[in-house]
Amino acid sequence: MTQQQTSQASQMSDLLAQGVRAVSERIADFPDTAIVLGSGLGRFAAALEEATVIPYGEIPGFSRSTVVGHSGNLVVGTLSGKRIAVMQGRIHAYEGHPGSAIAAPIRILRKLGVKQLILTNACGGLNKEMSPGSLVILEDHINFSQFNPLIGPNDESIGPRFPEMSEPYDAELRAKLEEAAAEAGVEVKKGVYVFVLGPNFETAAEIRMYAKFGADVVGMSTVPECLVARHCGMKVACVSIVTNYGTGIASELLTHTETLATAEKAGINLEGMLRQFLRKI
């Protein structure tokens, strides 16, 4: 590495150590499972029992989102008899954050002992079968954003320079999510997520193109976190909530208010599904 790259890697290492220390001082026995909550899903964290809440502003390496619907807290507690950590909100590349800022929280969770990461998000449906309110277990993704948080100097102590991605979303975790949905009486679909940079909603022509690529849903998050988590050795699964049809599929104009409202309603089904899932891991 060049001197500049060495300096960047050293700064990241120091930041991660500070973040781990800040959390460890508040939570001695950190859980091995973490869940990242997407837009409009923050209420899930309120269900945790004996919870410790740490605002992102008190954890070096955690940046607070500027987007409505992302509270910005790390919550650790118990649900369905399982201790879990919950990221109540996330940051996005379209807010102007560099890849290192998106990577830092996930890497801190890994250093704290997290082995499996469950991602959630609000997304758009690319066909009539993915109607608003649908829950979709991701089988794979397409990164169409030209954004990757792994760009830059690589720290081999965190993960390999060229991480393998034949199975970004763990098959065993996906199977348990399907079983949990059936037990909770919640209908789920399976599909491929296409990640776009945003922040604008997609054009009708773009939606048609993504569908032809083989994508089922589209969104502006999740993939960067998946890449970082897989790079540092975590198992990953994701459940997307379809909050709207993509542009051109339905006549209504898309708004973030609509996204939050639909996510909140569908979040009740997601919570029931996750409660059953946590009993299985």
The CA distance from 260 to 158, in Å, is 35
DSSP 3-state percent helix, strand, coil across the chain (nearest 5): 35, 25, 40
Which residue numbers are catalytic? 39, 70, 92, 94-95, 122, 220-221, 244, 256
Give the pLDDT confidence score for residue 250 in this predicted structure: 75
- In degrees, rounded to 5, the angle at the alpha carbon of residue 118 between the alpha carbons of residues 113 and 119 is 125
* Average confidence (pLDDT) over 198-215: 96
Distance of CA 244 to the CA centre of its chain: 19
Give the pLDDT confidence score for residue 123 in this predicted structure: 93
The CA distance from 18 to 265, in Å, is 37
User: Is there a binding annotation on residue 202?
Assistant: yes
Residue 251 has pLDDT above 70, yes or no: no
Give the pLDDT confidence score for residue 4 in this predicted structure: 61
Give the pLDDT confidence score for residue 71 in this predicted structure: 74
CATH number assigned to the domain with residue range 3-278, chosen from the 4 options 3.30.420.40, 3.40.50.1580, 3.30.9.10, 3.40.50.2300? 3.40.50.1580
What are 254-269's pLDDT values in tens digits? Answer: 566 766 677 677 788 9
Distance of CA 12 to the CA centre of its chain: 21
What are 176-194's pLDDT values in tens digits? Answer: 999 999 999 999 999 999 9
Helices (H) then strands (E): counts for the chain: 6, 9
User: Is there a binding annotation on residue 92?
Assistant: yes
Count of C-beta atoms within a 10 Å radius of residue 270: 23
- On whether the CB atoms of residues 126 and 244 are closer than 8 A, the answer is no
Query: In the structure encoding, which two tokens stand for residue 177, read together?
Result: 């999510």
User: Is there a binding annotation on residue 122?
Assistant: yes
Work out the percent of the chain whose per-residue pLDDT is above 90.
75
Which uninterrupted H or E stretch holds 205?
helix 204-213
Give the pLDDT confidence score for residue 31 in this predicted structure: 97
Report residue 200's pLDDT band, with 50, 70 and 90 as the boundaries: very high
User: Is there a binding annotation on residue 39?
Assistant: yes
What are 85-110's pLDDT values in tens digits? Answer: 999 989 999 999 999 999 999 999 99
Give the pLDDT confidence score for residue 111 in this predicted structure: 97
User: Is there a binding annotation on residue 91?
Assistant: yes
Instruction: Write down the pTM of the prediction.
Output: 0.93
The CA distance from 170 to 166, in Å, is 10
Give the pLDDT confidence score for residue 169 in this predicted structure: 98
In one-letter notation, the amino acid at residue 82 is K
Read off the DSSP letter of residue 215: -
* Average confidence (pLDDT) over 132-146: 96
Residue 229 has pLDDT above 90, yes or no: yes
The CA distance from 78 to 176, in Å, is 19
Task: Identify the CA nearest to 232 among candidates 138, 120, 72, 113.
Answer: 113
Among 7-11, 168-172, 241-245, the range scoring the smallest mean pLDDT is 7-11
Give the pLDDT confidence score for residue 68 in this predicted structure: 55
Give residue limits of the domains in the chain.
Answer: 3-278
User: Is there a binding annotation on residue 90?
Assistant: yes
What are 21-39's pLDDT values in tens digits? Answer: 999 999 989 999 999 998 6
Strand pairing partners for 193?
141, 217
- Residue with the bigger pLDDT between 47 and 216: it is 216
Q: What is the mean pLDDT of the chain?
A: 91
